[in-house]
Structure 1
Amino acid sequence: MLLPLQAAPEGPLAVAGTFASFAIFLSVTAHIAARNVLGDVPVRNAFVVGPVPAAISVLVATFAAGNSTVILVGVAAAIALDWAAIRALYDESTRLSAYITFIHFVVSVILGAIVFGLWALSLSAPG
């Protein structure tokens, strides 16, 4: 059963659009997290980090079909690969890469909640 705010993707173009928009969102939040921890960093690194968890998230959302175990494994894999991409691209220690990954997760959740809240609020506005 789909909730009112959920929609099944209607073809490969919808999945690609979902992936692209989520990858851009996660790239922006990755850059915010890296700048917060490291200071001035190149933005191109964030545009390599963002698509990694986005790809896993879209795959899990497309094929998990409500299986909570698969969803939890997908979240863990997205966080682990996010850490690996941050570690490789920013060339930082394991601990500092984990901290940047944590900040990336927190910024993504907070900014996502704000954007979703604004979107839901705009849908409820009188015509």
Structure 2
Amino acid sequence: MAIPGGLTAVVGTLLLAAAFYTVTVHVAARFVLGETPLARAVVVGVVLAVVQFLLQQYGPAATIAVTALADLLAIRMVYRLKFRSAAVVAAAHYAIAVVAGLAVLFWVGR
């Protein structure tokens, strides 16, 4: 089966998504928790990019819902937080990711 755009496009998109998620989760974690290692954000970012990539065929509603759950669980496990603390970080991450994503869309769309 041929991949539209080629393997380079798929890998590039996956890496770009992982970088975006890494930066936004690191900003959220630093905002909520204080000083945190970037390596933890990288793990969460890669997990979210892979989940999002694998679920894109199921449409936006399912992809967003499952990715949000994966975000919560990955933050909880990687940062070793209780559920409530992880939920606060995940909510902050969602808000930051939405704002950053909209900013990028408006910037690219100019």
TM-score by length of 2: 0.90
- Whichever residue aligns with residue 52 of structure 2, its letter is S
CA distance in 2, matches of 1:18, 1:9: 12
Kindly provide the CA deviation profile for residues 46-81 of structure 1, in whole angstroms up to 9, marking residues without a partner as x: 0000111211222233x34xxxxx432221111111
Q: Give identity over the alignment, percent.
A: 34
CA distance in 2, matches of 1:115, 1:75: 18
Aligned partner (choices 88, 100, 110) of residue 99 of structure 2:
110
- Whichever residue aligns with residue 24 of structure 2, its letter is T
CA distance 1:47–1:119, shift in 2 (3 Å): same
| Contact kept? 2:24, 2:97, Cα under 8 Å | yes
Q: 2:20 matched to 1:34?
A: no
TM-score by length of 1: 0.79
Q: How does 1:76-91 map to 2 (within 5 A)?
A: 76-91=65-80
| Contact kept? 1:15, 1:58, Cα under 8 Å | no
Kindly provide the CA deviation profile for residues 86-124 of structure 1, in whole angstroms up to 9, marking residues without a partner as x: 001111110110110011011001011111211111xxx
Q: Which has the higher helix share?
A: 2
Secondary structure at 2:35's aligned position in 1? coil
Structure with higher Rg: it is 1
Which residue of structure 2 lines up, in the alignment, with residue 54 of structure 1?
Answer: 49
Kindly provide the CA deviation profile for residues 22-56 of structure 1, in whole angstroms up to 9, marking residues without a partner as x: 10010000000000000001111000001112112
CA distance in 1, matches of 2:100, 2:4: 24
CA distance in 2, matches of 1:46, 1:117: 25
Which segments of 5 or more consecutive residues in structure 2 lack a partner in the other structure? none
Bigger relative CO (Cα 8 Å, ≥ 6 apart): 2
Which residue of structure 1 lines up, in the alignment, with residue 19 of structure 2?
Answer: 24
CA distance in 2, matches of 1:31, 1:90: 11
CA distance in 1, matches of 2:13, 2:99: 19
Which segments of 5 or more consecutive residues in structure 1 lack a partner in the other structure? 1-7, 65-69, 122-127
